[in-house]
Structure 1
Amino acid sequence: MHLDIATAAERPDRRPLWSGLAGLWPPFMTQDETGDFFYGYEFDSYPEFQLLAVDTDTGEAVAKACSVPLSFTGTIADGLPEDGWDWAVRQSTHDRLRGTAPTIVSALEIMVRPDLRGRGLSARMLAALRANTAARGFADLIAPVRPTGAQFKTIDTYAYERRLDGLPVDPWLRVHVRAGGQIVNVAHASMVMVGTLTDWRRWTDLPFDTSGPVTVPHALGPVHCDVAGDRAVYVEPNVWVHHRL
């Protein structure tokens, strides 16, 4: 497959094609309210950091990679914030509003069209994201990676599990390490989704009629249900990976 990968700034005419990659996350994964500070503003505020891959044979969008520039004054190797993805979105927004110069770039999402997964497109998009970050003058790319195999594992153990060849057991972490990334630390509260029980029933088609932990397909941990309070909360862990470019 021949791909033409360009930023939204370079190809504003492709704006309608981005909709072909919408709606691919499980519904509950789009309920983190912090995301409202990025999605809907990404093309106006950070167009040079949003990458779209188009199949030149079909003219269709097949993958995207989203990122934001932000400031970070600490030492990356010493650890990145526990609130991972949410922190990256908030920090980039605060920096933009305050006029603070960014020092690093954080990935937010790499999405490959479901019918094309397993063909190495995720690695190609990560390579494009690394190259775009470097081209913008940044030496560091960080990523709050969603370890998809962690659903039935303890994240603090699973994040560091390795295969016999030394690469991570998790497929997404493996893509990053193969590309040169280094695992830094777990962000235990990277995203937070809160809703009424009616909301969660609509998002998951599960009853949510008993207080306690609820196993939800595609969640990396339990959703905590409180029947008396009519609320359920999901706190998602991610794994910080650092790419020194």
Structure 2
Amino acid sequence: MRHLLAAAWAGALEFMNHDRVCARHWDSLYSEFAEFQFALCDVHGAVVAAGFSIPVAWSGRTRDLPSGLDGVLEQGAGDRARRRRPTTLSALLAVVAPEARAQGLSGEILSGMKAIAERHALRELIAPVRPTLKHRYPLIPMGRYARWTRADGAPFDPWLRTHHRLGATFLGVAARSMVVTGTVAEWQAWTGMEFPASGVYIVPGALAPVTIDRRRDLGRYVEPNVWMRHDLAPA
């Protein structure tokens, strides 16, 4: 599973490996929340896909949603530490090996997460979804992008469309789902780009622009995601 995770953020997405909240909490998924993680294997036993999730105590009200992936990681860890009873499973990441893509495994991962939620008597699966094609439209606000549809009325974005096909409903935009900060030199190393002046830059793979402040020696990326909700069958 770890090698799939490393591959997911390799290359143009190297900067995604430097979210400090994820760095602080991700290993606890394997130790404290192991029963909520799973892998899919091919006929030879090789891991070709994985699903990562965390249980949280959520009221069901949109105003009480965590900020996004960072927020739900922090809340899940906090709920466990305070012995709060979880009500909801939140997806964190669905990753498929490059050689196994276009085989419907992303939908299988979501179905697996729903099965885990049902097994733990949770009432729903929520997900801070990172839309697959949003990086091609970094200047379009996420709220507008999430509402784009095809001629058949289904969501324009393939990953949002998969959620929709499996019965998910739109909850809202997670405007600050992930935050990545670093020095200008770090951002240049992560992206292979030069940032000669302060300003807003389009970075390959990023869903929104990256802000560079050379005076403060700071680069900052705030990633928006889309909250989706899957209701589960009554027990």
| CA distance, structure 2, for counterparts of residue 181 and residue 37 of structure 1 | 30
- Contact 1:195–1:233 under 8 Å retained in 2: yes
Q: Deviations over 1:16-68 (max 9, x none)?
A: xx23313121211111111124321111100110011111x222110000000
How many residues align structurally? 225
C-alpha change, 1:44 and 1:79, in structure 2 (3 Å) is: closer
State which of 49, 59, 73 in structure 2 corresponds to 1:73.
Answer: 59
Aligned letter for 1:72? Answer: W
Q: Distance in 2 between matches of 1:239 and 1:132?
A: 22
- Name which of 122, 128, 137 aligns with 1:138: 122
Shift in Å at residue 233 of structure 1? 0.2
AA of the residue aligned to 2:97: R
> Counterpart in 1 of 2:47?
61
Which segment drifts farther, 177-186 or 130-139?
A: 130-139
CA distance in 2, matches of 1:85, 1:22: 15
- Identify the residue that residue 212 of structure 1 maps to in structure 2: 199
Give the superposition deviation at 1:208.
1.8
- Tell me how far apart the structure 1 counterparts of residues 79 and 65 of structure 2 sit (CA, whole Å): 17
> Structure 2 matches for 1:154-173, cutoff 5 A?
154-173=141-160
Q: How does 1:201-240 map to 2 (within 5 A)?
A: 201-240=188-227
Q: What's the counterpart of residue 12 of structure 1? A: none
Counterpart AA for 2:82: R
Whether the aligned pair in 1 keeps the contact of 2:58 and 2:65 (CA below 8 Å) is no
The residue that corresponds to 1:6 in the other structure is none
Structure 1 stretches lacking a partner, 5+ long: 1-17
The corresponding residue for 1:176 is 163
**Residue number in structure 1 paired with 2:88:** 104
Between 1:117-126 and 1:216-225, the stretch displaced more is 117-126
Residue in structure 2 matched with residue 19 of structure 1 by the alignment: 2
Amino acid at match of 1:80: L
- Pairing 1:40-51 to 2, within 5 Å after superposition: 40-51=27-38
1:188 partnered with 2:175: yes
Scaled by the length of structure 2, the TM-score of the pair is: 0.92
AA of the residue aligned to 1:192: V
User: Residue 108 of structure 1: SS of its match in structure 2?
Assistant: strand
The Cα offsets for residues 56-112 of structure 1, whole Å up to 9 and x where unpaired, read as: x22211000000001112424x6734x211110010011111111111110000000
Task: Give me the whole-angstrom Cα distance separating, in 2, the residues matched to 1:217 and 1:243.
Answer: 31
Q: Provide the identity percentage.
A: 39
Distance 1:176 1:38 in 2: 26
Among residues 98, 108, 111, which one is paired with 1:127 in the alignment?
A: 111
Which one of the candidate residues 117, 125, 134 is aligned to 2:101? Answer: 117
Q: Per-residue CA shift, 1:189-223, capped at 9, x if unaligned?
A: 11000000111111111112221111111100100
The residue identity in structure 1 corresponding to 2:44 is: T
1:197 and 1:115 map into 2 onto residues whose CA distance is: 34
User: Which of the numbers 149, 153, 157 marks the counterpart of 2:133?
Assistant: 149
Unmatched 5+ stretches in structure 2: none
SS in 1 for 2:133: helix
